[in-house]
Amino acid sequence: MVKAETVEIINPACACLRNVGRNAISDQTNDKTYNRMDNKRVLRGVSTINFYATEHSKAVKWYADFLEIEPYFSVTGYAEFRIGDYQQELGIVDSKFAPNHLADKAGATVYWHVDDLQKTIEKLISLGATVYQATTDRGNGFITASFLDPFGNILGIMTNPHYLEIYKTTNGA
């Protein structure tokens, strides 16, 4: 359990927390009720954010203009940019490929890289999440799934070889 003296509120409006002094996470690992799924972080980092657009080509051009870079990967209905310090992926997806009710709307799904997709799926379901978009093999080691948490939020998880490559490069692991 995180002890009150180990964190401080940085921004009361969003209740952002910062570790002060001791490592708050190490306090959690000593608590027998805290399950770290084999001592690994479950959500390793944002790997891909998908924005859906009914006018796919225009959206890709708009983001290329905004980001001042061309997509590094592009196929019919999908274009992907690498952005940020960890080169996270911003995917622009034709809305016709969007999960069920998004087909005529804009929106985003954030995908977190996980080491064990099946174990994470089982944990989400056991905690009351429901499948939003079934497990989908996107090819080349990229596998996605998304869930609605009990509060209606979409949580995307995936295995993402690019995330692991960037992590190894930046952390020397």
Residue 105 pLDDT greater than 90, yes or no: no
* CA separation for the pair 86, 114 (Å, rounded): 16
**What domains does the chain contain, in order, with CATH numbers?**
1-34 (no CATH), 41-171 (3.10.180.10)
Eight-state DSSP code of residue 37 = T
159 has a pLDDT exceeding 90: yes
Q: How crowded is residue 98: how many other Cβ atoms within 10 Å of its Cβ? A: 20
Q: What is the pLDDT of residues 32-74, one digit of tens each?
A: 444 445 556 788 888 898 888 888 999 999 899 998 899 999 9
Nearest to 51 by CA among 23, 73, 78: 78
pLDDT for the residue 7: 32
- Position 10 scores a pLDDT of 33
Give the integer Cα–Cα distance in Å for 48 and 67. Answer: 16
Residues ≥6 apart with Cβ < 8 Å to 119: 37
Classified as helix, coil or strand, 11 is strand
At residue 54, the 3 state secondary structure works out as: coil
CB 17 within 8 A of CB 27: no
Residues in the chain: 173
Q: Any idea what DSSP says for residue 36?
A: -
The mean of the pLDDT values for the chain is: 77
DSSP string spanning 84-147?
TTTTEEEEEEEGGGS-GGGTTS-EEEEEEE-S-HHHHHHHHHHTT-EEEEEEEEEETTEEEEEE
